[in-house]
Each structure stands twice: as structure tokens, then as C-alpha cells.
Amino acid sequence: MPSSRVTILVSNDLATDQRVRKSCDTLQRMGYEVLLKGRLLKDSTPIEHPYKTQRTRLAFNKGPLFYAELNIRYFLHLFFHRTDIILANDLDTLPAAYLAYRLRRAKHLVYDSHEYFTEVPELQGRIAQKVWRFLEGWMFPGLKHVYTVNQSIAEIYRDQYGVDVQVVRNLPEAKHEIVRKTRRELGLPEGPLLILQGAGINVDRGAEEAVMMMQELPGMHLLILGGGDVLPVLKQMVNELGLEGQVIFKDRMPYDEMMAHTACSDIGLTLDKGDNPNYAFSLPNKIFDYLAAGIPTLASPRIEVKRIIDDYGIGKVLEDVEPNHMAETVQAIFEDEKAIPSWKENTIRAKQELDWAEEEKTIQRIFAELD
């Protein structure tokens, strides 16, 4: 019989994190009593889950004080509310989980690394990067049960820390039905429509180049849906370039509503760029959202993304993220009457094979092996 209580820690507001939601569902089906802890933000939308959730409003929402407060709050909870297993999601929740585990406030600690955290662009060249590298180097060798989002990152951690890191890709649930709506119902324009969606539309993710690309694509539209640090810059660019009406912005929204917008689009964009190691080895959630919605992907040449697109024939990989090159590629795709229908047809097979039901078996095995 599995241990009865699992406390799951994340640093977001629980509203759109599908990887965490699917993990919680998997553990609940295994018989665990799940408690999911996250943050409460000003714009947090209501959530409904079949397991217990707690969202905490913090005094600080960014910077060192945010991370310190988050981990102090989580540690105090874990210290005074003993649990059997702690599942820490990403490095920013691991200090609280690791310290509580070492103080024997839980029998087991499991770590899910969603990205190559210490190499995100926001940390590059800053003292904060050295701090997180130090913390990771202190904690990681002591971890016994670790999984991450793709093979590339798993190999980096295995080589660096000698820990057996498993892979659990953030695949969609084939059984999940998308609530489809018309463009008119969603307030979207007719004609060719590109979408760039996600909760992390930040620097070096190609969003600025996508906006500039639209200057060369009259008659087409770009929908930017979600949140991120670079959105104010993008909106200013749209005003300066006179692209109002051609580039459409929509805020974060519940997953099903976001997927309805995605399914109404023609091509999904994932444009992580530069030499940043985190992006170089990333496998963004959005590629699987596009796949689940049945639309092809136009992507920058990232290792893991290219592997999926080439293996299943569900889109095209760009040579680089340069506005003119991207515009020419998009124009050629729409002029080719067979390209998009063929890629869409291939998403059907890919969706059947790239299914969370297969990935969750690794989580089930890891938790089944806990004493």
C-alpha cells in the first residue's frame, strides 16, 4: 500500500500548470492523499481540483525576497504538518523540501525538474545564478528519486551529479477532449492565424521576432496568448510598428479556454533562441498543446523540439529565428496547399503515441518503489 499523504510544492498559482495537475491526478489514482501548495496572485483565476489545494498570498512576488519567503513558508508548513512524501517541482521549491526531508519531517523526497533551472536567461551573469548553482550542488547529490522533462536535461544532471534521473515528458492526455469553438465565438479574425501561447513568454523566446515578422505578412494575424515578462515590450512594439489589429493579445486564461483558441489557429509557434543552455535543451509545453489541438508547429532549431517534429512530421523547423526568414517560411507554408493538411493529419498519429498515459508509468514506478 502506498503512503497516504503526498505534499506537492510549486511556485506558481496552480491555474495553468498542466504537468503538475496531471501528476496530482496520477498520484490520486494510485491511492495517495494529495495536497498541492502554490501561490495566490492578484490575477489568479478560480481553480477546481479533485484533491486538496492551498494557495498562499506572499508579500513578495519576485526577486530574492520572493524565493526566500516562499521557501520559509513551505518549510514551516512541512515542519508543522508532517507528510509521508514531498514532491518538489523545480529548484525554487527544493530548499524547503530538502531541509524538511533532512530533518525527518517526511519519509521520502521526490524532485521533478521542469527545466534546466540554473541556466534560465533571467539568471545569466547574476549573483543569483551562483546562489542557485550552489544550492543545487548542495542538494542534488543527496536526492534519490528525480525525474525531468526530457532526455537532454536528464543526461546533464546524470553527468554532473551521478544521480539516476528519469524522464517524464509533459505529454497531453489523449483522452482529454478539447471544447471547440468558432473564431467568431472567440472574437478571432478570419484568415491565416498564427499563435504563440504560454505562461512564460519571456526574453529570448522569439516573441519580439514574431511581432516583427508580421510586418511582412499583411492579411495574416498573430495571436499572443498568455503571460510573461516581455509582454509590455511586445505591446509597445505593436504600437510603434502600426500592427494593431494584426497582432492580438489575450491574457492568461483557463486551460480549456486556451486550448479552444489554440485549436482555432492554423500554426503554433515555439521560437526559443540564442545560446542559452536552458532553451537549447528545452521541450516547451506549448508544442504538446499544439499537438493536442491538432495544429502543426513552426519551431526554432532546438534539439528536443526538432526531434519530435521530425519524428512525427507535425511541422517545420526554422533555420534560425530571424523575422525575414520566418516571414518567408510562413508565406511558403500557406502557399503550399498540402503542407498544413498533411501536418495536421500527422498530429492524429502523434497524439495517439505521445500520450501522458505512457509517461505517467515512470511516476507510478518511482512512487511504487518508495518504502
What does the pLDDT look like over 304-337, one tens digit per residue?
999 999 999 999 999 999 999 999 999 999 999 9
Three cell numbers, residue 340: 498544413
Mean pLDDT calculated for residue range 164-168: 97
The answer, yes or no, to whether residue 187 has pLDDT greater than 90, is yes
Predicted pLDDT of residue 186: 97
The answer, yes or no, to whether residue 43 has pLDDT greater than 90, is no
Degrees, nearest 5: CA angle 161-82-105? 40
Predicted pLDDT of residue 274: 67
Three cell numbers, residue 16: 495553468
What does the pLDDT look like over 242-279, one tens digit per residue?
999 999 999 989 889 999 999 999 999 999 986 778 87
β 85-89/108-113 pair status: parallel
165 neighbors 158 (Cβ within 8 angstroms): yes
Mean pLDDT calculated for residue range 44-73: 94
Provide the pLDDT confidence category of residue 359 given band limits of 50, 70 and 90: very high
Domains and CATH numbers, the chain: 5-171+356-368 (3.40.50.2000), 183-353 (3.40.50.2000)
Which of 4, 143, 112, 135 has its CA nearest to residue 64? 135
The order of strands in the sheet holding 297-299 is 247-250, 221-226, 193-198, 267-270, 297-299, 315-317
CA distance 222 to 243: 10
CA distance 225 to 50: 27
Provide the pLDDT confidence category of residue 371 given band limits of 50, 70 and 90: low
130 neighbors 124 (Cβ within 8 angstroms): no
